[in-house]
Amino acid sequence: MTSQLPAAVLLDMDGTLIDSEPYWMTAETELVESFGGVWTHEDAMGQVGSGLFDSAHVFQDRGVDLPAAEIIGRLTSRVVAQLSDSVPWRPGARELVAALAEAAVPTAIVTMSMRTMADPIARLLGIDHVVSGDDVDNEKPHPEPYLRGAELLGVAAIDCVAIEDSRPGLASAVASGAAVIGVPAHIPLEPSPDYTLWPTLEGKTLDDIAAVFSAQRLAS
Find the CATH number of the domain harbouring 98.
3.40.50.1000
Which of the four pLDDT bands, split at 50, 70 and 90, describes residue 120?
very high
Both 194 and 123 in one domain: the answer is yes
Both 111 and 184 in one domain: the answer is yes
Residues 43-53 have pLDDT tens digits of: 998 888 778 88
Give pLDDT, residue 2.
63
**pTM for the full predicted model:** 0.91
* Rounded Cα distance, 160 and 187, in Å: 24
* Rounded Cα distance, 203 and 220, in Å: 27
- Whether residue 220 has pLDDT greater than 90: no
In a domain, 1, yes or no: no
Which of the four pLDDT bands, split at 50, 70 and 90, describes residue 3?
confident
In a domain, 2, yes or no: no
Q: What mean pLDDT comes out for the span 65-77? A: 94
Give pLDDT, residue 180.
98
Under 8 Å between Cβ of 180 and 219: no
- Whether residue 207 has pLDDT greater than 60: yes
- Whether residue 208 has pLDDT greater than 90: yes
In a domain, 178, yes or no: yes
H/E stretch holding 97 reads: helix 93-102
CATH assignment of the domain containing 36: 1.10.150
Give pLDDT, residue 49.
75
SS3 89: strand
